[in-house]
Structure 1
Amino acid sequence: MYKQASISHVSARNATVFSGMCAMYALALLAGAVLPLAFAPLGWYWLAVLSPAVLFLLAARLPKRQALWASYFFGLGYFGVGVSWVFISISRYGSGPVIAMLVTVGFVALLALFPWSAIFLVRTLCPRMGGFALWLGLPAAWVLSEWARLWFLTGFPWLFLGYSQIGTPFAAIAPVFGVLGVSFVVAVMAGALAWTALRFSLRRLAIASGALVALLLGASLLDREWTEPVAKPLSIALVQGNVEQDRKWKPEALAFTLGRYRALTQPYAGTDLIVWPETAVPAWFDQASEYLDRLQTRLGARGSTLILGIPVRTDQGQAYNAAVSLARPRRFYYKRHLVPFGEYVPLRGLVGPWLNILGAPLKDFSAGQQPRLLYASGVPIGALICFDVAFGAEVADLLPAAQLLVNLSNDAWFGDSLGPHQHLQIAQMRAIETGRPLLRSTNTGLTAVIDHNGQLLARAPQFEPTVLPAEVTPRTGSTPYVRWRDKPVLAFIGIALSVLVGVGRKGKRNSSR
């Protein structure tokens, strides 16, 4: 009888422990799932502090194994909601919903390893999670994981914490330390909140509040004009053709597409700069040259320069996703950061074309190797095609020569999802980092005019054929970020993690006594 009672007691205790762990994992999943709400279009920026704070608190309170599982569930929620638009592009324009679900789940499962890696690193270096680990160790590891996403498997720098802070006082950090610097400050606030909640006291609350005030004061000291206007304002017209993605590349739709863009453009002849979106002309440049020559002749007679997106093929057999300035002499910019499976198939020669699950062209695009400037009315322009705008250090390669940035994109792939809004927010951050106005011309939206402080001056309605006219003033000069890139942030991460190693070793020595 006693033995049976003991077994029942153990079983009940195990069931309680199991249900408690499930509750912790559910909390982590929920905290990750709400984090994308901090970004566009909702912009609940405070969630960028609260959500990671929940993760950091769990990382400090749970045993290492459970903490790692919690961090992985957090990542599943974070990216499962945040990049759900990947499913739309594959399902509608690739190989259907079944393949789309499999690929999206696999992609999210891979991305979830990045929050996991941050927790793993800190818990390995410093098993006892004290104040330093929460205030600086975890923030440093988190931002290191964001930096790794800039290059791992060609890069996917989406949903960095810093992007959520556009429009807040902390955006002033970006011209100096870039989006990773903003992410670091946000993560520090999350660590401070977790430290306060770990063992709540008025003393801890006062310290965390003081730190917040110090960070706000520090950000206010960086809030200044880093660049200056040059020359006169340019009149611009951003053309949004709104050609359906599943129709765009059909040969029988070419005449319709060219006619629509011509009709939308002609009333704006005399505008200094007219911009069409990425691959606005769904034909090779040499095939459309007669049409483009006639159009630029009419526009050029009124003093207009047209920049447009179009595929280009060379005599050497290479194909490029290009932005072309039609004013003589013609200039070409070739997209530098291609989208895997969208514009080329990795290992195509090894595994064959069956890997083409996203509807990539049968012929792979080649990546441009040099940042080339385009010109309009004598103004040097830095062109960025779609995914290019997500890589701040590469955008900085165009500076300080470029006085204006132009982002040509086609977000029709992602429908009415979070994707286009997140993409626009990323473009806003590039404007802040470089101190340059940025013009964004897209096929279906979000077409927008962004000033050098990252603020939206104008935005076209989504899913409508329209033209967005505006005036922008080119700017000159270099922000500190253009000169330094991500080096200061990476150096600080290295210092923080080095100190964390020392803290961890000291904690081990003390526990062994």
Structure 2
Amino acid sequence: MSVGVGGLEAPRAADRGPSALERLANSVILLWGWRRYALIFTAGALFVLAQAPYDFFAVGFLSFPLLVWLLDGAVVGGNASLWQRARPFFALGWWFGLGTFLFGLWWVGGAMLIESETYIWALPIVALGLPLLLAPFYGLATLLARLFWDEGLGRIFALAFGFGLAEWLRNWVLTGFPWNPVGFATMPVPLAMQSTYLIGTIGMNAAAVFVFAAPALLGSGRHRRVGLALAFLLVAAHLSYGAWRLDQPIEGTTLRTRIVQPSIDLTEKWDGEVRDRIFATMLDLSKGPPDDRGAPIELTLWPETSVPFLLTERPDALSALGKLEPAGEGLPDHLTLVGAVRAEGEMGTTDERYYNALVAVDRAGLITGAMDKVHRVPFGEYIPFASLFSLVGVEQIVAGPMTFEAGVQRHNFTLPGGLIAAPFICYEIIFPEEVDAGSAGADLLVNVTNDGWFGDTAGPYQHFRNFQIRAAETGKPGLRSANNGISGAVDARGRVADALAMNERGRIDLSLTVPKRAEMRLSPSVVGLGVVAACGVLALAFTLLGRRRMN
């Protein structure tokens, strides 16, 4: 007998009632009807707070345990068909995804307000349509988890496997849109970004779901100590590796760079009467001695489609670009990378083709190279199934007055000093596998974009976060120029070296340290898929052990 306060007998552990978390879990599990879906929709919406610019990652420890407990209660009768058994799991993931994507991507509809007199009708369609397209991925995640669902740790691994695989599919299904993957919720600061160098964002997606969902074991299920210990070890290893990697010195070649952010009003962007004024503004921002009084500038970077006309038709513009930095004996070479529209074929005929390109102009005012955007934005730069959509009057919405063709292949730019830059235009930077493959053999990343379509919303902050994480993931520093922000530079660990605020007109002059090119290594995306597969194997193992125990 054990003695409690005042000599009274203390209750034995077996005699204690359920804990507060167990009571909460039971009440969630027993929810029925619309209340279940209202709660999971709310949990998904709240999870948006874990993403940039809010970075309140702790909300993940609420959203995912609620998802686990609601899935625990997603049961049907023994005579139910296969679809009847699967439907509750898919529905819960779908509603979770709808809440996440609706509140996380609402700002996409803001592009309709730039030319509101023409496209205001499309605002609700865009704001709701994209979440409706993405929500089934999370429905698939919970449906896959259903295959291994049990009463213990197996279901936590199963959920990590399901979300890991679904997030990987978001990279390429329907042309791909892996915006705000769940793994980003665990990476609000560079300390927490370094694990992507090992297992990529793909692996971090699975690891994040496991850690966020593990506290659900406190409310229901077996293997509590084992599950929580594994989650704690994962977090400890994640942060320890991050601290170690950030502590490693970065040594290499210095590149003197000027990043320009013009903050041009998009309503004037393609106005023929103000094109020269826009170009003159860009030139004025790009001229003059370095603001930091450092060495002469070697590379000047302009944003996506910053030149409002065809460069090949304006030799005077090319000459002006060549004269941005003074020439002379002892001065370094200089290159300007400008976002511009590139044209091919005979203008005014059916043979004319336009490309969203990044063009290199040297000191002599000559175009020395160009890289056309390969991964275009659907409905922004081209219309998929254009003949079908034209029947209902749907045309290109945001990118410009023409439809862009896709670039054939990626290639890099050689910068002054022999450094190799891998260019990515606009949202190409959000695709981890494409960036990993496209930057192979390069020394640094270059990202140009025009996020002005989305105003001062969460969108540009989330886009910049993608840029940061790609740098940490590849181990390469990055330069970014955006029309209205966020422009800046990050080192090879994803730490911000300097940046311009949203809607600020100005430039950044800085020295970027470019480390020695790393030897070939196994792609973090491949390792990440291995992490996802391991979660599936462990889910199966725990499920089989659980069934054997019951027998």
State TM-score, norm by structure 2.
0.82
**SS of corresponding position for 1:446:** coil
Residue 137 in structure 1 maps to residue 149 in structure 2: no
What letter is aligned with 1:365? F
Q: Which residue of 2 aligns with 1:198?
A: 220
| Aligned partner (choices 371, 377, 381) of residue 339 of structure 1 | 377
Q: Which residue of 2 aligns with 1:493?
A: 532
**SS of corresponding position for 2:410:** coil
The 1:349–1:73 alpha-carbon spacing in structure 2 relative to 1, beyond 3 Å, is: closer
- Cα offset, 1:98, TM superposition: 2.9
1:305-348 residue CA offsets vs partner (Å, 9 max, x unmatched): 21110010123633211111111561111112110011111122
Q: Is the 8 A contact 2:210 2:231 kept in 1?
A: no
1:328-375 residue CA offsets vs partner (Å, 9 max, x unmatched): 561111112110011111122444383215245554212223221113
Q: Which residue of 1 aligns with 2:409?
A: 370
Q: Which has the higher helix share?
A: 1
Runs (5+) with no aligned partner, structure 2: 1-28, 76-84, 291-295, 346-350
Q: Is the 8 A contact 2:260 2:303 kept in 1?
A: yes
Partner Cα separation in structure 2 for residue 464 and residue 364 of structure 1: 29
Residues paired across the two proteins, number:
491
| Aligned partner (choices 96, 116, 128) of residue 105 of structure 1 | 128
What letter is aligned with 2:177? F
**SS of corresponding position for 1:312:** strand
| Aligned partner (choices 153, 173, 195) of residue 173 of structure 1 | 195
Q: Which residue of 2 aligns with 1:119?
A: 142
Partner Cα separation in structure 1 for residue 433 and residue 234 of structure 2: 28
Partner Cα separation in structure 1 for residue 361 and residue 528 of structure 2: 40
Which stretch shifts more, 268-277 or 176-185? 268-277
1:404-462 residue CA offsets vs partner (Å, 9 max, x unmatched): 21111100010111100000000000100111111111100111111111111211121
Residues 2-41 of structure 1: matches in 2 within 5 Å? 20-41=32-53
- Cα offset, 1:255, TM superposition: 1.3
Q: Which residue of 1 aligns with 2:18?
A: none
| Aligned partner (choices 231, 238, 243) of residue 211 of structure 1 | 231
Which stretch shifts more, 368-377 or 458-467? 368-377
| Aligned partner (choices 155, 173, 191) of residue 176 of structure 2 | 155
Which stretch shifts more, 438-447 or 157-166? 157-166
The 1:463–1:298 alpha-carbon spacing in structure 2 relative to 1, beyond 3 Å, is: closer
Residue 468 in structure 1 maps to residue 508 in structure 2: yes
Which stretch shifts more, 297-306 or 419-428? 297-306
Q: Which residue of 2 aligns with 1:425?
A: 465
Residue 76 in structure 1 maps to residue 106 in structure 2: no
RMSD: 2.9
Q: Identity of paired residues, percent?
A: 27
Q: Which residue of 2 aligns with 1:451?
A: 491
Partner Cα separation in structure 1 for residue 458 and residue 452 of structure 2: 12
- Cα offset, 1:207, TM superposition: 4.7
Q: Is the 8 A contact 2:270 2:400 kept in 1?
A: no
**SS of corresponding position for 1:299:** coil
Q: Which residue of 2 aligns with 1:11?
A: none
Partner Cα separation in structure 2 for residue 329 and residue 464 of structure 1: 29
- Cα offset, 1:281, TM superposition: 0.5
Q: Which residue of 2 aligns with 1:47?
A: 59
1:76-133 residue CA offsets vs partner (Å, 9 max, x unmatched): 210111001111012434643332102321221121111111111221x135453212
Q: Which residue of 1 aligns with 2:420?
A: 380
**SS of corresponding position for 1:358:** coil
Q: Is the 8 A contact 2:382 2:404 kept in 1?
A: yes
- Cα offset, 1:214, TM superposition: 4.6
What letter is aligned with 1:336? V
Runs (5+) with no aligned partner, structure 1: 1-16
What letter is aligned with 1:310? A
Q: Is the 8 A contact 1:76 1:112 kept in 2?
A: yes
Q: Which residue of 1 aligns with 2:256?
A: 235
Q: Which residue of 1 aligns with 2:321?
A: 295
Residue 90 in structure 1 maps to residue 112 in structure 2: yes
Q: Which residue of 2 aligns with 1:393?
A: 433
Q: Which residue of 1 aligns with 2:19?
A: none
Q: Which residue of 2 aligns with 1:12?
A: none
**SS of corresponding position for 1:368:** coil
Q: Which residue of 1 aligns with 2:283?
A: 262
Partner Cα separation in structure 2 for residue 324 and residue 347 of structure 1: 29
The 1:92–1:271 alpha-carbon spacing in structure 2 relative to 1, beyond 3 Å, is: same
Partner Cα separation in structure 2 for residue 197 and residue 18 of structure 1: 13
Q: Is the 8 A contact 1:59 1:68 kept in 2?
A: no
Partner Cα separation in structure 2 for residue 374 and residue 358 of structure 1: 31
Which stretch shifts more, 471-480 or 398-407? 471-480
Q: Is the 8 A contact 2:382 2:403 kept in 1?
A: yes
**SS of corresponding position for 1:472:** strand
Q: Is the 8 A contact 1:335 1:368 kept in 2?
A: yes
| Aligned partner (choices 378, 386, 389) of residue 348 of structure 1 | 386
